Structure 1
Amino acid sequence: MLSPRMCEDSQRLSRAAGSLDWKVVRWADWRVPEGLPETDLVLYAAPLFAERVSQLLPIDFPEPDDRWLTKLDASLLNRKVEATTLAEARQIRERSFFKPASFKTFRAGVYESGAELPEEDKADGDNPVLVSEVVVWESEFRFFMLDGKALTGSVYFRFGESAEGNGEWPCGEEEFAQARETAERAYADCSEGLPAGVVIDTGYIQGSGWSVIEANPAWGSGLYGSEAVSVLKVLEKTAVSR
């Protein structure tokens, strides 16, 4: 199942699904399409659309636990990371990286202090937020994980800028292997709170080494240079029937 929103990633997955003889259904709007199969449903869509699908169909699309990152061993983080609420984050006076842990209530990024975050009338103070020490990421990678193994992945940023060049996402074999190993170590270190199919992002922190960036739901994550058929294998494990 694909949302009405056309994007390059959904088109790539549509073609890959066709190569596997899967039936591809792109919703025309936010209503259940006629003739939609009742079983073996796989979704790729943004969070708001996934939430709508869960309201209309007896299916849930689990997300990683809000506090998963804070449960990892310090050697996998190499920076201070704290789970809090938006209300508490507003009181932080240090320059930090702020990211909404689940719903995208504000734009993730570096803020001079929590006072720059959205005020109460614009975002609920109970919303979970991750606050981390500001670091320099030399590289950032994305891996689509199935039961702890990275089936496919790709570099996507270098020093905060897109790593794409002429439609390719180049990186060395050794660099890719180290990034992948970090993702698999993270899953092995703490699989609690992670769906069987999930995305784990890793990267290299300047002066500190390979580290985990975050975990995200595979059904809503960008592919970058990941191999589409392998992504579909992960997406098969991201829906839970009620």
Structure 2
Amino acid sequence: MTTDRLLLLAPRINDTGLQLLTAARRRGMRAQTATAWRLPEELREVRPAHLYGGPLFADAVGRGLGIAALEPAEDWLVRLPRELTRRTVELTTLAEARRLRRPAFLKPPADKLFPARIYPDGTGLPGPDALDDDTLVQISDIVAFRREYRLFVLDGAVHTASRYLVDGQLNVAPLAEDPYRAEVHAFAAQVLAACAGTLPSAVVVDVGLLDGDGAGGGPGAWCVVEANMAWASGGYGCDPDRVLDVVLRAAGPLADLAPADEPFCRALATVVG
């Protein structure tokens, strides 16, 4: 990759953003943090460009920078076979989810429009005055994870990985230092083989080990937690240089977009003013 490239990061920079700034500058890239949630005037003609930040930042600056931002399909987890999810996962509208009368894990499938957590029922979801009735909601059976891992995936293979949770508590370590590293790699290979063609070429996939209390999980069962946009995901204990490889592909020039990734392009907003 040539070094005459821009990496623009969202104003609310996190630890991963700081690591990516350093890694990008080591490569000779022009890497900087935006000072506001809009495209800086002096960068409007800078090409080629990449970004790192949440969906709001991508919508604010992505089109102006000529970026193709890759994201998994909203129903990707729903379409996985149960042997990979170990739980029932549904996708419905917010209007329907508000009628739910049982505990479930509820979340927006992509953008963080409301908190992702266990709800006692659907009555605690945002009302129609806050979010449209046709807003999508993912409903999952409640399961308990013993351990959770983040995988940065490039071209269908794990490029770098990290543990991030143990027994529900933040517990970060590079996968190479984790006692379950062989099992994680084996399950990741199984998942990525089963999902060939259903994910963008650069993406984040989270996997976890169930503690045996979840619905249908069984003791020691591995399962997929979710998939996310690499350009909006924390790196935890992953190798920052390898995270950068995935981020640059996941949010890079539209002119570099491979045909296989076209279905995974986020519909970026047109910013007026």
TM more than 0.5:
yes
Residue 207 of structure 2: which of 202, 212, 221 is its match? 202
Residues 182 and 21 of structure 1: CA distance in aligned 2, closer, same or farther (over 3 Å): same
The equivalent position to 2:15 in structure 1, one of 8, 32, 35, is 8
Match of 1:145 in 2: 153
More divergent stretch after superposition (230-239 vs 168-177): 168-177
The correspondence for 1:228, drawn from 220, 223, 240, is 240
What are the superposed Cα offsets for residues 208-231 of structure 1, whole Å, 9 maximum, x if unpaired? 311000000000001110110001
- Quick one: which of 88, 96, 116 aligns to 2:124? 116
Q: 1:32 to 1:90 in 2, by over 3 A?
A: same
Matching residue within 179, 182, 203 for 1:177: 182
Deviation at 1:33, TM superposition (A): 4.6
Overall identity of the aligned pairs, in %: 36
Gaps of 5+ in 2: 1-7, 256-273
Question: Pairwise mapping of residues 8-87 of structure 1 onto structure 2 (< 5 A)?
Answer: 8-29=15-36, 30-35=38-43, 38-87=46-95
Deviates more, 1:89-98 or 1:176-185: 176-185
Matched residue type, 1:200: V
Give TM-score, length-normalised by structure 1: 0.91
Change (3 A) 1:94 1:142: same
User: Structure 1 residues 16, 33: CA separation in 2 closer, same or farther (over 3 Å shift)?
Assistant: farther
- Residue 214 of structure 1 corresponds to which residue in structure 2? 226
Instruction: Give distance in 2, aligned partners of 1:184 and 1:125.
Output: 38
Contact 2:49/2:65 (<8 A) preserved: no
Q: Structure 1 residues 112 and 27, CA, compared in 2 at 3 Å: closer, same or farther?
A: same
Instruction: Give the secondary-structure state (helix, strand or coil) at the position aligned to 1:124.
Output: coil
TM-score, normalising length: structure 2: 0.81
| Structure 1 residue 103: Cα displacement | 2.1
Measure the CA separation in 1 of the matches of 2:98 and 2:43.
Answer: 48
- The whole-number CA distance in structure 2 between the counterparts of 1:170 and 1:28 is 34
Given that 1:163 and 1:170 are in contact with CA atoms closer than 8 Å, whether structure 2 keeps it comes out as no
Q: CA RMSD in A?
A: 2.0
Flag structure 1 segments of 5+ consecutive residues without an equivalent: none
Higher mean Cα deviation, 123-132 or 180-189?
Answer: 180-189
Q: State the 1:84 CA deviation.
A: 1.1
> Match for 1:44: what amino acid?
Y
